[in-house]
Amino acid sequence: MKRKKWKIHAKQTAALAMAFTLMISGAASAAPIPPDGSGTGQTAQGGNQTSQGGGQNGQQATGPAGPGSGAGNSGSASRLPSLSGTVSTSQSSQTSQNSAQTGSQGSSQAAVPQIKAEGAVLYDATRDQALYEKNADTRYYPASITKIMTALLVLEHCNLNDTVTFSQTAVTNLESGAVTLGVQAGDQFTVEQCLYGLLLKSANEIANGLAEHVSGSISGFADLMNQKAASLGCTNTHFVNPNGLNDSNHYTTARDMALIADAAFSNPTLCKIASTVNYDFPATASVPSVRKLTMGHKMVNPANSEYYSGIVGGKTGYTSLAGNTLVTCAERNGTRLVAVILKSRQTHYADTRALLDYGFSLVQSGGSGSGTGGPGGGPGSQQGPGGGSASSNPHWVEDSRGWRFVKADGSYAANECMEINGEIYCFKPDSYIVSNDWYQIGGIWYFFRPSGGLAKSRWIETGGKWYYVDGNGSLFTNGTTPDGYRVDADGVWIQ
């Protein structure tokens, strides 16, 4: 299957991937690579920054545009933009409801699911678009779904009949309570046998042994993982180990994980292993009997009540910090969907089933998503005013200049910020959203992602300088960022 990315992010994604690859190779070592050599961040367009004074009377910024022009906020000023309203668009009526998340596709489409996990994405890999997003760009711990990337890299660098010899480091570099197969130093298995142990049992020492076999060390393999993630278009992912055990610098997003999973499940060998229900793992001197492995992903097993027909493959994950995580790839009638669930509290199977049901129903009815509606979810299909079949209010509309939002009273949002389906958007006086740009509101600079949503807790590169926005989205100034970098009074990283 051809490698694809969300169309709405293609240009930015390609640029970021190239930049991050250079960073990893050392060709761009001058910039901070947040938070620990990951190369994650956002590259902003230059020269288009605007200022919205106090949430009213938006105007072009004077002088050098954007942060760093002397207009930065003080180190103590951090707050979310003032909101004029909070709206959730529903699929059928487009009225304001707190829990609904959808684009305006018409009443004939499937109802948008109510996902309980903190982060989720449903990606239509066949048509290259997101059908549902919830906190798609928020960092979460992935836990053992990390092993999808590990398996993909192993298959790209090894033969299945290669022999893996386990070192003492591989079998002991684990945290207490980690899932293992009891492999001992000196044990030998083929790459193929190891991959079954990795994806069915989720054995953590198997991940370590494979990583050392490919790269010679865990850290070397982590570098390879990060390079691969960047090449796939991931912009907010950083790996430090091949197994997903807890580490503050090991994280991903639902959007990035969907890209990784799409690439992984394009490999037929990985699909075969990740959809296998049972496997006999060979005996060793330390464990003289064959170990019967059963796939941990319950939706793969026809004998399990969670079974779902059409599963191509998947991987489970859990740690105390990550909660339940789940990646699932399913295909029906020529449509392949990838569902990613992050930070769930035991609702991961129900959430995944709801997403897949929604996606297949949406495709069957001719809908095109997105689950967040409007910007950030791929092209919308609703028509604007005068289009003859415009959806009920409120709803998103798109034209050649960008995205606008029609409020319940029929007017366009303008010169204000609103929370829509859980994302904060800012609308300029001409009613178009701010996207991939800085915007000043009430004396504080904020950055809005290419999708239009407010960026939080990430680095932004503008004009060759690096800036950090905090958990409220505010430009961080005159202090030390959470990942240990100093920035000056204008928010510029001090090299």
Specify if 59 maps to a domain.
Answer: no
**Is 11 among the catalytic positions?**
no
Q: What is the residue-wise DSSP string for 125-191?
A: TTTTEEEEEESTTS-B--GGGHHHHHHHHHHHH--TT-EEEPPHHHHH---TT-------TT-EEEH
Report how far apart, in Å, the C-alpha atoms of 375 and of each of 130, 132, 237, 476 are.
Answer: 11, 12, 22, 26
Query: What CATH code is carried by the domain that includes residue 189?
Result: 3.40.710.10
Residue 386's pLDDT is 27
Whether the per-residue pLDDT at 24 is higher than 60: the answer is no
Type of residue found at 380: G
**Tokens coding 318:** 């859990």
Residue ranges of alpha helices (H) inside 375-485 are none
Q: Which of 88, 104, 202, 370 is catalytic?
A: 202
Q: Is 2 a catalytic residue?
A: no
Residue 226: count of CB within 10 angstroms of its CB? 25
- Residue 384 in this model has a pLDDT that exceeds 70: no
Is 202 known to be catalytic? yes
How far is residue 411's CA from residue 89's CA, in Å, rounded to a whole number? 15
Looking at residue 109, its pLDDT comes to: 55
Do the Cβ atoms of 319 and 143 come closer than 8 Å? yes
Tell whether 155 is covered by a domain: yes
Taking CA atoms, 436 is separated from 451, 477, 481, in Å, by 7, 20, 22
Q: What is the per-residue pLDDT for 484?
A: 82
Distance (Å, rounded) from C-alpha 165 to C-alpha 288?
Answer: 17
Alpha-carbon distance of 475 to 74, in angstroms, equals 9
If one counts the domains in the chain, the total is: 1
Residue 280 lies in a domain: yes
pLDDT beyond 90 at 96: no
Catalytic residue selected from 144, 370, 431, 474? 144
Q: Is the model more confident about 494 or about 194?
A: 194
Q: Is residue 156 part of a domain?
A: yes
- Whether residue 202 lies inside any domain: the answer is yes
Judge whether residue 253 has pLDDT over 70: yes
Least confident of 162-176, 235-249, 469-483: 469-483
Judged against a pLDDT cut of 50, whether residue 434 lies above it is answered with yes
Indicate the SS3 state at residue 221: helix
Q: pLDDT tens digits, residue range 339-375?
A: 999 999 999 999 999 999 999 998 887 655 544 444 4
Nearest residue to 244 via CA among 185, 164, 178:
178
pLDDT tens digits, 197-242: 999 999 999 999 999 999 999 999 999 999 999 999 999 999 999 9
Return the beta strands (E) in 153-296 as ranges: 163-165, 188-190, 278-281, 291-294
Confidence bin at 89 (pLDDT 50/70/90)? low
* Structural domain includes residue 326: yes
pLDDT at 57 over 50: no
What is the C-alpha to C-alpha distance for residues 329 and 344, in angstroms, rounded to an integer?
Answer: 18
- Please state the rounded mean pLDDT for residues 438-463: 88
d(CA 315, CA 257): 12
Which pLDDT band holds residue 72 (cuts at 50, 70, 90)? very low
User: Which of 473 and 483 is assigned the larger pLDDT?
Assistant: 473
* Tokens found for residue 24: 């990893």
Per the structure, the complete domain to which residue 312 belongs is given by 143-364
pLDDT band at residue 134 using 50, 70 and 90 as cut-offs? very high
Give the N- to C-terminal CA distance of the chain in Å, as an integer: 43
The pLDDT of residue 337 is 97
Range 451-461 average pLDDT: 86
3-state helix, strand, coil in the chain (%, to 5): 25, 25, 50
Tokens 């919308």, located at residue: 380
Structure token pair of residue 373 = 């509606």
Among 4-18, 47-61, 92-106, 231-245, the least confident range: 92-106
**Helical packing angle, 146-157 and 204-215, nearest 10°:** 40
pLDDT of residue 321: 94
Amino acid, single-letter form, for residue 445: W
Q: How confident is the model at residue 402 (pLDDT cuts 50, 70, 90)?
A: confident
For the ranges 75-79, 111-115, 296-300, 490-494, the lowest mean pLDDT is seen at 75-79
Residue 83 or residue 143, greater confidence: 143
Count CB-CB contacts under 10 A for residue 470.
Answer: 17
Give the model's confidence band at 81: pLDDT under 50 very low, under 70 low, under 90 confident, else very high: confident
410 within domain boundaries: no
Average pLDDT over residues 292-311: 95
Angle value at C-alpha 378, between 377 and 379, nearest 5 degrees? 125
How much is the pLDDT for 156? Answer: 96
444 domain residue, yes or no? no
Catalytic: which of 4, 147, 407, 456? Answer: 147
